[in-house]
Structure 1
Amino acid sequence: MRILIGGGGEVGYLTARRLSREGNEVTIVEQNAERCAHLEEVLDARVVRGSASSPETLREAGIRDTELLIAVSDSDEVNLLACLIAQAESAATVKVASLRTHEADHWRALCGTVSLKIDLIIHSESELASRILRVLGTPGVSDIVDFAGGRVKLFGMGIDEGSWVAGKTLAELDRTGPPKNSLIAMIFRGAEVIIPHGSDVLLPGDQIYIITRSIDLEKVIEFMGLHRSARLERVFILGGKQLSIWMAQALEKRGVDVKLFERDAARCEKISQVLDSTVVVHADGTDEAALIEENIRDASAYLAFTNDDEDNIIASLLARRLGAQKVVALVNRLNYLPMAHRLGISTTVSPRLHAVDRILQFVRKGRVLSVTTFREEEAEAIELVAAAESRYVGKKLKDVRLPNGAIVGAIARAGGAVIVPRGEESIEPGDGVIFFPRKRVVHDLESAFLWSRGGGRLDPGSGPWACAGAFPARVGGHYGAPGRRRLDRLQRRPQAAPLQLDDHGRCGRPAGMAKPAAGDGAFASRRNSAGHADLDRHRRVRWPAVFFLAALQRSHRRHIRGCLGLHHHRRHSAAPG
């Protein structure tokens, strides 16, 4: 798929990295020269310097041939103008825009009035506010995520030193009689992600995620030793940005006493005119004396929502020490998320990461229903629809060979039933299946689940970009400047035959190399003991192909394999010849 991203900030970078990794042709438009140079170095994407609000720049970036425009610059005006230009230049282009203004709902209505079709408008602040409200009443719960239209819940919690589950294996925990439809799906231990088995031990400091049916959520939370607060009474909010205002308004409607701290006096004046009962305090909400003076002890929650990640983390730690029952920190830098969790800040929110998840969910829609990313993109929760032709359908889960590092968390039947499986259950056509894979196996899982028994790709389902994330738009395709630069570096290696690139940057066969026969190479394909073959994505090929295949990303390797006449074979255990 040809995708144009307007804005090379953090959201644009994360989106481009994920989409280019999945085989899409990505072009980024960014105005800052230094940022352009950085993006060219770290991404396999074409980078065009200029403003996304310029028709000339968008034409240079190929807007007329673009299938999807994602406008995620720091300016709402630029994002809306980019969508307007895209509609004028190519009516077939699907458009996604991110807005920060509190008037996002008005813009949705206005776009419909003036016939500006924007297929998805993302307003992360309002969407995150509802997600935060779900966890404020339970101090030990870090997050609650909905799947299958709300029928399935996933919640996160930390294991404290005094927790009754600390030191127990999952098998021991299972023998104590937990609610039937519940499963520990992931364990985060420091920088490690564990897809658990019965022998894994829960240790103090672990962050775990448990999946269950929505009707069993309260039972599972109580079983794990957590208790909901009787009601939210007092909430402190640090920072006067839009997310803070959205949260204050939502809490006011629930009758909660809210105090909002803001350093800027003019901003305090504006906020006080917008909110009704919230007390706006012109003070530094990270100052211990100010918090004690405003009686933070035993406050129901402290929400740190400034523009500075470091201030949010430090303020949350201070508030917890001063007696706040729950702390929530806004953290935009992904590499800060594991550190925040290790410091005991279990609930963190990231508008940037939320925007990326919403974009990926939209791009992949069809048989891929939802995507939720955890921490530094270390793991995902993916909700997929099972087709009748899928190789996983009709088999008991204990007989299904999932990629190593993935687990089935829940199955939502088309008829409404929800099953948290134990191995005897099977996947039926039309089921919504919720997987928990580590980052490195996401593509393999999607490909295997959405691949038919006969070896062909399944119908991706309805929707303009159904399953775009699961498969590249085509095996070959164009690659931007970074791809050409990587290949050029490989050409300079004396051991490898030079690669031939045409004028469009397509990769041809190395000079002087004849097309090899299928199955040629150090690993030969053969049937395994089960009478069938499994996919071998890591089969070695003869020199010099092995040299550059190992150096390129998976999407590039597929393209080059096609150029060389190599095809995927089944996994085998034969030793090198």
Structure 2
Amino acid sequence: MKIIILGAGQVGGTLAENLVGENNDITIVDKDPERLRELQDKYDLRVVNGYASHPRTLEEAGAGDADMLVAVTNSDETNMIACQVAFTLFNTPNRVARIRSPEYLRAKQRLFLSDAVPVDHLIAPEELVTSYIKRLIAYPGALQVVTFAEDKVSLVAVKAYYGGPLVGNALSTLREHMPHIDTRVAAIFRQGQPIRPKGTTVIEADDEVFFVAASGHIRDVMSELQRLEKPYKRIMIVGGGNIGAGLAKQLEIDYSVKLIERNLARAEYLSEKLQNTIVFCGDAADQELLSEENIEQVDVFIAVTNEDESNIMSAMLAKRMGAKKVMVLIQRGAYVDLVQGGNIDIAISPQQATISALLTHVRRGDIVSVSSLRRGAAEAIEAIAHGDSANSKVVGRAIGDIKLPPGTTIGAIVRGESVIIANDRTVIEQNDHVVMFLVDKKYVPDVERLFQPSPFFL
């Protein structure tokens, strides 16, 4: 596939890294020649130095015969105009744009149309991060929660703790503990390394366990893997930007929410806009302020300012002062692995959320959704099975007979309204939504080919 990426920032660079090894022809466009040289030295791709929305730049990048244009510059307006120019002048067939401004997003149903602003797929990072955090709050104790097939199936990561019901026991005992609930452990990471789960695999303390189940059964399965945490009630948010404000607005309906914003004018604005959230103007790294607001009673402290260091330091202070769980938003990918698992319970990367959404639109075959897991090392994919036993490598075949790429597990199948937890005897049917876990994303092209019907396959 010939793909043009506009913007060589963290998202554009990470997307290029994900796609360049998958037999794609990648061209990346940016105004910064040094950043382009850095990417060209690192990866096998073309670079074009210039303004992303200019017709001459897009022509040089090959918009005339490109399969897809992905606009992820730091400017919403540049991304929108680039899609317009690609559509009008070059008839580029697929156009994806990252849009951040709530003003544009509020009008997205009427604005992003072929006869208005021709964007085929909209990526809104703030909305993605807000939804992600909301899912983590809904499932106390989860490290990551990903949903598939219109929320019918969930893939959840939890850490197995000392004293937990399954630590020291084989996976086969999961069925004995929960005879009426179907679930499957899709992967286990032990000290950062993947372990292929078998019935005889014994779960150890500190294992990161990924399991798949019908969404309605997630809490029950989590209670088997660790001590189930009490539902959260009191939440403190630091940062009143788009993410903080959006999160407070969604959470204040069901939770007791406090929000700390450093800028006085912004704090006053939010206090008027939010109905049930208590808004403070102040510094979240101020011990006196945290003490006055009873930080020791807070169930979740969420730092989502634009400054990584501020988020990390305020969260560490809140944890030391008694906050039960702390989450931080981190822009720099290198920081995520450094901080998560110590004093910081969960580090959230907006780049990974954005990349997951982008990959959904870039993958070949009928890939419905892609979720980047473990900071991009692994992936969860939902694909639709098409064809029949004569032209498909999967339809009409039992999972045990399908030659899956190394490290790939089929966890669940959604057939109509039914959720089927997969085993080797499960036969895939036409139009099934198949949820898979890949411990190594380099095998994604093999999965894509597996789900593409071929007239030559018998």
Structure-2-length-normalised TM-score: 0.90
What runs of 5+ residues in structure 2 fail to find an aligned partner? none
- Name the counterpart of 2:65: 65
Query: Does the 8 A contact of 1:145 with 1:155 survive in 2?
Result: yes
Whole-angstrom distance in 2 between the partners of 1:3 and 1:391:
27
Amino acid of the structure 2 residue aligned with 1:81: I
Q: Aligned partners of 1:55, 1:88: CA distance in 2, in Å?
A: 10
Partner of residue 219, structure 2: 218
Q: How far 1:372 moved relative to its partner?
A: 0.7
In structure 2, what is the equivalent of residue 120 of structure 1?
121
Q: Is the 8 A contact 2:267 2:281 kept in 1?
A: yes
Cα deviations across residues 410-468 of structure 1 (Å, max 9, x unaligned)? 1122x332211232222222211111112233223333343659548xxxxxxxxxxxx
State how 1:364-383 maps to structure 2 within 5 Å: 364=363, 367-383=366-382
8 Å Cα contact 2:234/2:298 also seen in 1: yes
> Structure 1, residues 230-270: CA drift from partner, whole Å, max 9, x if none?
5x532111123210111011122x15332222333444344
Deviates more, 1:299-308 or 1:175-184: 175-184
Q: Please list the CA deviations of residues 269-322 of structure 1 after superposition, one character each: whole Å capped at 9, or x if unmatched.
A: 444444344333232213433312211112131111122334333433433333
SS at match of 1:64: coil
Deviation for aligned residue 1:104: 3.2
Q: Residue 288 and residue 156 in structure 1: after superposition, are their counterparts in 2 closer, same or farther (change >3 A)?
A: farther
Provide the residue aligned with 2:51 in structure 1. 51
AA aligned to 1:408 is: I
**What whole-Å deviation, never above 9, does each CA across 1:466-512 have from its counterpart, x for those lacking one?**
xxxxxxxxxxxxxxxxxxxxxxxxxxxxxxxxxxxxxxxxxxxxxxx
What is the letter of the counterpart of residue 277 of structure 2?
A: T
SS at 1:384's partner residue?
A: strand
Q: Distance in 1 between matches of 2:339 and 2:168?
A: 23
CA contact (8 A) 2:164 2:227 kept: no
Q: Structure 1's 218 and 173: CA in aligned 2 closer, same or farther, altered over 3 A?
A: closer
Match of 1:79 in 2: 79
The within-5 A match list for 1:546-561 is none
Structure 2 residue aligned with 1:329: 328
Structure showing greater radius of gyration is 1
Q: In 2 relative to 1, CA 39–368 (structure 1 residues): closer, same or farther, beyond 3 Å? A: same
Cα deviation digits, residues 61-93 of structure 1 (max 9, x gap): 222333311110111121122122222212343
Could you say if the C-alpha distance between residues 229 and 372 of structure 1 is closer, same or farther in structure 2, counting changes exceeding 3 Å? Answer: same
* 1:304-343 matches, cutoff 5 A: 304-343=303-342
CA distance in 2, matches of 1:113, 1:196: 47
Letter in 2 for 1:37: R
Alignment-mate amino acid for residue 205 of structure 1: D
Moved more, 213-222 or 428-437: 213-222
The 1-side partners of 2:454 and 2:203 are apart by: 38
**What displacement does 1:45 show?**
1.3
Deviation at 1:26, TM superposition (A): 1.5
Hey, what's the Cα distance between the residues in 2 that align with 1:99 and 1:179?
44
Sequence identity, in percent?
35
Shift of the alpha carbon at 1:47? 0.6
Query: Unmatched 5+ residue regions in structure 1?
Result: 457-577
Task: Say whether 1:411 aligns with 2:413.
Answer: yes
Tell me the distance in 2 between the aligned counterparts of 1:255 and 1:430: 37
Equivalent positions of 1:188-207 (< 5 A) are: 188-207=189-208
1:182–1:344 CA distance, 2 compared to 1 (3 A) = farther
> What is the one-letter code of the residue matched to 1:326?
K
Task: Tell me, in whole angstroms, the C-alpha distance in 1 between the residues paired with 2:452 and 2:115.
Answer: 39
In structure 1, the partner of 2:358 is 359
Native 8 Å contact 1:238 1:306 kept in 2: yes
Per the TM alignment, residue 19 of structure 1 is displaced from its structure 2 partner at its CA by 2.4
Q: Compared with structure 1, are the counterparts of its residues 58 and 400 closer, same or farther at alpha carbon in structure 2 (3 Å cutoff)?
A: closer
Q: Distance in 2 between matches of 1:146 and 1:183?
A: 15
- The answer for the alignment partner of 2:12 in structure 1 is 12
Q: What is the alpha-carbon distance in structure 1 between the residues aligned to residue 320 and residue 433 of structure 2?
A: 43
Structural mapping, 1:520-559, within 5 Å: none
Residue correspondences, number: 453
Residue 447 of structure 1 aligns with which residue? 449
Structure 1 residue 362 displacement after superposition: 1.5
| SS of equivalent residue, structure 1 residue 63 | coil
Measured against aligned partners, the alpha-carbon deviations of 1:386-429 in whole angstroms (never above 9, x if no partner) come to 2322223333323333222111101122x332211232222222
Amino acid at match of 1:369: V
State how far apart, in whole Å, the 2-side matches of 1:137 and 1:38 are: 41
Q: Deviations over 1:105-161 (max 9, x none)?
A: 234233449622211111121232223222214431223221122221112212223
CA–CA distance in structure 2, aligned partners of residues 292 and 181 of structure 1: 45
Give distance in 2, aligned partners of 1:449 and 1:87: 30
Rounded Cα–Cα distance in structure 2 between residues aligned with 1:455 and 1:49: 44
Deviation of the 1:381 alpha carbon: 0.7
The 1-side partners of 2:343 and 2:200 are apart by 26
Query: Residue 297 of structure 1: SS of its match in structure 2?
Result: helix
Residues 187 and 439, structure 2, Cα contact 8 Å, conserved in 1? no
Q: 2:22 maps to what in 1?
A: 22
- Measure, in 2, the Cα distance between the counterparts of 1:142 and 1:204: 15
TM alignment of 1:485-496, pairs within 5 A: none
Against the structure 1 CA distance between its residues 395 and 54, is the aligned structure 2 distance closer, same or farther, given a 3 Å change threshold?
closer
Q: How large is the Cα RMSD of the aligned pairs?
A: 2.5
Distance 1:147-1:46 versus aligned 2 partners, 3 A rule: same
Aligned equivalents of 2:195, 2:68: Cα separation in 1: 35
Aligned counterpart, 1:145: 146
Partner of 1:234: 234
Task: Summarize the Cα distance change of 1:65–1:417 in structure 2 as closer, same or farther, 3 Å threshold.
Answer: same
Contact 1:190 1:338 in 2 (8 A): no
Displacement, 1:346? 4.5
* TM-score, normalised relative to structure 1: 0.73
